[in-house]
Amino acid sequence: MNIIEMKSIKKDYPLGETVVHALRGIDLDVEEGGFISIIGPSGSGKTTLLNIIGCIDIPSAGSVKIGGEEITSLDDRRLTNIRLFKVGFIFQTFNLIPVLNLLENVEFPLLLMKEGGLTKGEIRKRAQKCIEEVGLGSFMDHRPAELSGGQRQRVAIARALVTKPQIVLADEPTANLDSETGATILSLMKHLNETEKTTFVFSTHDSDVLKYASQVIKIRDGHIIDIDGPGAAKKMKKKAGPAKRGTR
C-alpha cells in the first residue's frame, strides 16, 4: 500500500514582483515501510517537498494523500491532527521544548493526544522505552540545553516515534552534526525503520546515506529527475513495479 501519493504537486512562492516555482509538478508514490532519501542541490525543493508531505505547508496545485487521506483541502485543525497522529517530525535544529526535560519532551505528543486513550502510566512507560531505544536511558531528567547536538537529535527521533506514526519525516537531520555522529543517527533511524516498520522520508546532502536508503529520489529545480538506489532497486525487482518517475 502507498502511504504517500502525490500527483502533479506544484508550489509557488510569491517573492516580491516575481514568483519562485519551488516545485514544478511532482508525482511520487511511497510504499509503506520504506527508507526514502531525497537528495538534490541547494534550492532544489527538498524542504518544500517534505513540508508538504508533513502537512506543515500546502501545495499551490495538485493532490496529496497521506495514508489514503487527501490533505490539500483540510483546515488547520485537521492538518494538526494528521501531524499529531500520522506523522513524526525530526527537524535540523530546535526540535525540543526547552523548559521540559528529556522524558517530558518525548511524552509531549502523547499528552496532546487526548483521544489517544493511554493512561499517564502507559504514556510514561512508552516514552521511557523510546528513550532507551535511542540510548539515552540515563538522561531522562536532563533538559535539552544539557545535551549535545547528537543527543538532541536522538531525543527528536524518540519523540517522532513515540506516537507510532505512519511516516517519520526528517529534513537534513544530520546537517548540524559531525560525520561520525551523523552516521550513528542514520543507522539508528535505519534500525528503527527495520524493527518498527515505520516509513522514513528524509532529505540529505550526504552521499553516505545512499547505502541505507530503500529509495533515493533525486530532485532538481522542483522536478524529480531520478528515483533509484540499492534498496529501491531490490524492492522494485521484488514487487516488479517501478515507482513513478517525476515528469520533466
Ligand X SMILES: Nc1ncnc2c1ncn2[C@@H]1O[C@H](COP(=O)(O)OP(=O)(O)OP(=O)(O)O)[C@@H](O)[C@H]1O
Answer with the entry of ligand X, another protein, Mg ion, none that 22 interacts with (C-beta below 5 to 8 A by kind): ligand X
Which residues does residue 219 pair with via DSSP β-bridges, in sequence order?
A: 224
- Count of C-beta atoms within a 10 Å radius of residue 112: 14
Question: Whose grid coordinates read 547536538?
Answer: 149
Answer with the entry of ligand X, Mg ion, another protein, none that 56 interacts with (C-beta below 5 to 8 A by kind): another protein
Does residue number 153 form part of the binding site for ligand X (CB under 6 A)?
no
The candidate with the shortest Cα–Cα distance to 70, out of 10, 164, 7, is 7
Is 105 or 214 the residue whose CB approaches another protein more closely?
105
Query: What is the per-residue burial (b if ≥16 Cβ within 10 Å, else e) of 31-40?
Result: bebbbbbbbb
- Count of C-beta atoms within a 10 Å radius of residue 221: 15
Interacting stretch for ligand X, rule CB under 6 A, among 14-22, 103-111, 139-147, 207-215?
Answer: 14-22
Least spacing, CB of residue 247 vs another protein, in Å: 27
User: Which one of residues 47, 72, 81, 181 is an interface residue with ligand X (CB under 6 A)?
Assistant: 47
Does residue number 13 form part of the binding site for ligand X (CB under 6 A)?
yes
The candidate with the shortest Cα–Cα distance to 95, out of 40, 175, 14, is 175
Does residue number 42 form part of the binding site for ligand X (CB under 6 A)?
yes
**Which positions touch another protein (CB under 8 A)?**
47, 51, 54, 56-57, 76-77, 80-81, 83-85, 89, 91-100, 104, 108-109, 111-113, 159, 163, 171
At 177, list the grid cell: 552534526
Is 113 or 183 the residue whose CB approaches another protein more closely?
113
User: Which one of residues 30, 36, 44, 160 is an interface residue with ligand X (CB under 6 A)?
Assistant: 44
Subset of 45-64 contacting Mg ion (CB under 5 A): 47
The number of helices, as runs of H, and strands, as runs of E, in the chain is 7, 10
At 100, list the grid cell: 521540559
Answer with the entry of Mg ion, another protein, ligand X, none that 92 interacts with (C-beta below 5 to 8 A by kind): another protein
Is 48 or 214 the residue whose CB approaches ligand X more closely?
48
Least spacing, CB of residue 55 vs ligand X, in Å: 16
Is 19 or 99 the residue whose CB approaches another protein more closely?
99
Residue 84 backbone dihedrals phi, psi, to 5 degrees: -75, -45
Does residue number 92 form part of the binding site for Mg ion (CB under 5 A)?
no
Count of residues making up the chain: 248
Spatial neighbors of 104 by CB under 8 A, at least 6 apart, are 97
Is 60 or 101 the residue whose CB approaches ligand X more closely?
60
Cβ–Cβ < 8 Å for 36, 202: yes
At 245, list the grid cell: 518517475
Give the footprint of ligand X on this chain (CB under 6 A): 13, 15, 20, 22, 40, 42-48
